[in-house]
């Protein structure tokens, strides 16, 4: 996916240094790796004293996958994050009179690159917050984040990231554990017949894929669901017919996937070859713009996923802000779950900076972390479930709903918002 031109060069105040563009798509992608790209709103310098220096920018370092496998997700995360920071700078005047600066580094979906980027954010850039991307990247960067005491939000909601000690790591909304519980609650609610529903897991053989194994197996025992098989494969695999055949032979009526969009399309193709027609279920990471381009004639109506966020059909204030962003900046032209998450993470960060300044009069990693741990039902206008953090829990929320993914790129709620294991799920359609 092409990013907007502004993505590929550093925007700095004119008194620091001039902008330089990187020419050519190939050159751009190559140059992105380990290149810090700052999105800075340039404020207007007022007053008669020419020597007055502008307030220092509030810095956020973001280590994201822009060129590796699943790069569409990373690119759209970056777009959403950038657009919201731009909005805060241009429309709101920044936070406490200071501009937000996003220092973006491409990790190419590689743990060493992510760790290196996080170390640079801490040691050289002196950032106030960090965004990490994948499950493996977040977990491996955790010791550095702890050492320097910089709060970090991880784009992947792998529950393992918050295994004690949680230190300075945060999730923007419910973890993959929430997804597992919600999906199995939904399976129980729609299953017909007296026998326990038979569920097969289809995942990558990495930290992201395996993040649904343990919670699904554990919760299945509580709700009388039979996990009949767990099939996993390397992320670069393009044909999963063998894995799908095993699921079919094990009698899996439901296939719960922890896969990125391209692999889900491969699963659909394999199922069609085998004449296998289970109900496919996924976590909120199941779709992106490429999914709908590749999936014509394949998606049909067979994918349901847990998605905790606001949808265009909800019409909430938070969704209206999201719509305003893409209409204002033209970065995307319709609702997208990756872009949505980029905006959500950026919103949470902005709120943390605001609360830090309100509480302490300053914005530093320590004051931001203190502010985050004071979040109690922070409301983001329905764009994401209200966020609560504490010293012992950085998981944000545990509210879910199941949505139907349509081939035309729209999403339709199938259930109410509910707390798995505590609230009864209500089927809407």
What digits encode the pLDDT tens for the residues 358-405? Answer: 999 999 999 999 999 999 999 999 999 999 999 999 999 999 999 999
pLDDT category at 50 given cuts 50, 70, 90 is low
Q: Which residues contact 56 (CB under 8 A, 6 or more apart)?
A: 98
**Rounded mean pLDDT of 19-37?**
37
pLDDT category at 51 given cuts 50, 70, 90 is low
Radius of gyration of the chain (CA): 22
Residue 228 sits at φ, ψ, to 5 deg, of -90, -20
Structure tokens of 166? 């949680």
Q: Helix, strand or coil for residue 177?
A: helix
What confidence score (pLDDT) does residue 8 get? 32
Output 205-209 pairs: Cβ under 8 A, ≥24 positions apart: 205/232, 205/233, 205/234, 205/235, 206/135, 206/136, 206/234, 206/235, 207/134, 207/135, 207/136, 207/139, 207/158, 207/160, 208/134, 208/135, 208/136, 208/156, 208/158, 208/258, 209/235, 209/258, 209/259
| Four-CA torsion 370, 85, 287, 423, nearest 10 degrees | 40
| Four-CA torsion 107, 108, 110, 111, nearest 10 degrees | 20
CA distance 116 to 295: 36
The 8-class DSSP code of residue 331 comes to S
What confidence score (pLDDT) does residue 69 get? 82
Cβ–Cβ under 8 Å, residues 116 and 380: no
**Rounded mean pLDDT of 298-302?**
94
CA distance 387 to 421: 19
CA distance 107 to 6: 19
Evaluate if residue 284 carries a pLDDT over 90. Answer: yes
What confidence score (pLDDT) does residue 68 get? 87
Q: Which segments within 20-132 are labelled E, that is strand?
A: 37-40, 58-64, 100-106, 129-132
pLDDT category at 47 given cuts 50, 70, 90 is very low
Cβ–Cβ under 8 Å, residues 345 and 155: yes
pLDDT category at 302 given cuts 50, 70, 90 is very high
pLDDT category at 43 given cuts 50, 70, 90 is very low
Q: Bridge partners of 305?
A: 282, 403
CA distance 307 to 401: 6
Give the pTM: 0.87
Cβ–Cβ under 8 Å, residues 243 and 200: no
Read off the pLDDT of residues 215-267 as tens digits, 9 standing for 90 and up: 999 999 999 999 999 999 998 899 999 999 999 999 999 999 999 999 999 99
CATH superfamily of 176-307+401-413: Response regulator (3.40.50.2300)
Do domains 5-173+317-372 and 176-307+401-413 share one topology? The answer is yes
Locate the domains of the chain by residue range: 5-173+317-372, 176-307+401-413
What confidence score (pLDDT) does residue 52 get? 57
5-173+317-372 fold: Rossmann fold (3.40.50)
Alpha helices by DSSP H, listed for 150-229, are 176-190, 207-210, 213-223
């Amino acid at each position: 996916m092409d990013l907007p031109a502004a993505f590929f060069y550093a925007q700095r105040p004119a008194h620091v240094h001039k902008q330089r563009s990187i020419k050519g798509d190939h050159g751009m992608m190559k140059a992105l790796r380990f290149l810090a790209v700052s999105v800075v709103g340039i404020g207007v310098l007022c007053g008669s004293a020419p020597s007055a220096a502008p307030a220092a920018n509030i810095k956020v370092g973001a280590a994201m996958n822009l060129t590796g496998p699943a790069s569409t997700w990373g690119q759209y995360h970056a777009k959403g994050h950038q657009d919201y920071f731009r909005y805060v700078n241009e429309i709101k005047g920044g936070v406490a009179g200071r501009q937000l600066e996003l220092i973006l580094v491409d990790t190419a979906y590689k743990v060493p690159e992510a760790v290196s980027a996080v170390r640079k954010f801490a040691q050289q850039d002196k950032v106030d917050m960090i965004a990490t991307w994948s499950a493996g990247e977040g977990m491996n960067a955790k010791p550095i984040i702890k050492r320097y005491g910089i709060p970090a939000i991880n784009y992947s909601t792998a529950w393992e990231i918050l295994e004690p000690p949680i230190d300075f790591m945060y999730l923007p909304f419910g973890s993959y554990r929430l997804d597992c519980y919600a999906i199995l609650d939904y399976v129980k609610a729609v299953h017909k017949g007296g026998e326990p529903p038979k569920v097969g897991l289809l995942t990558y053989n990495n930290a992201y894929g395996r993040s649904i194994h343990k919670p699904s197996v554990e919760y299945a025992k509580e709700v009388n669901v039979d996990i009949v098989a767990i099939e996993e494969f390397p992320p670069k695999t393009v044909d999963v017919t063998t894995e799908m055949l095993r699921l079919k032979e094990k009698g899996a009526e439901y296939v719960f996937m922890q896969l990125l969009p391209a692999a889900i399309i491969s699963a659909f193709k394999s199922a069609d070859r085998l004449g296998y027609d289970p109900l496919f279920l996924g976590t909120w990471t199941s779709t992106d713009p490429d999914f709908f381009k590749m999936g014509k004639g394949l998606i049909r109506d067979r994918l349901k996923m847990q998605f905790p966020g606001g949808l265009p059909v909800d019409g909430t204030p938070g969704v209206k802000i999201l719509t305003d962003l893409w209409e204002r900046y033209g970065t995307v032209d319709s609702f997208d779950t990756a872009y949505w998450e980029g905006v959500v993470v950026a919103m949470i960060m902005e709120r943390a900076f605001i609360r830090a300044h309100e509480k302490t009069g300053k914005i530093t990693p320590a004051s931001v972390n203190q502010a985050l741990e004071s979040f109690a039902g922070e409301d983001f206008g329905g764009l994401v479930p209200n966020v609560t953090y504490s010293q012992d829990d950085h998981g944000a929320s545990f509210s879910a709903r199941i949505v139907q993914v349509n081939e035309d790129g729209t999403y339709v709620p199938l259930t109410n918002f509910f707390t798995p294991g505590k609230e009864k799920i209500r089927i809407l359609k």
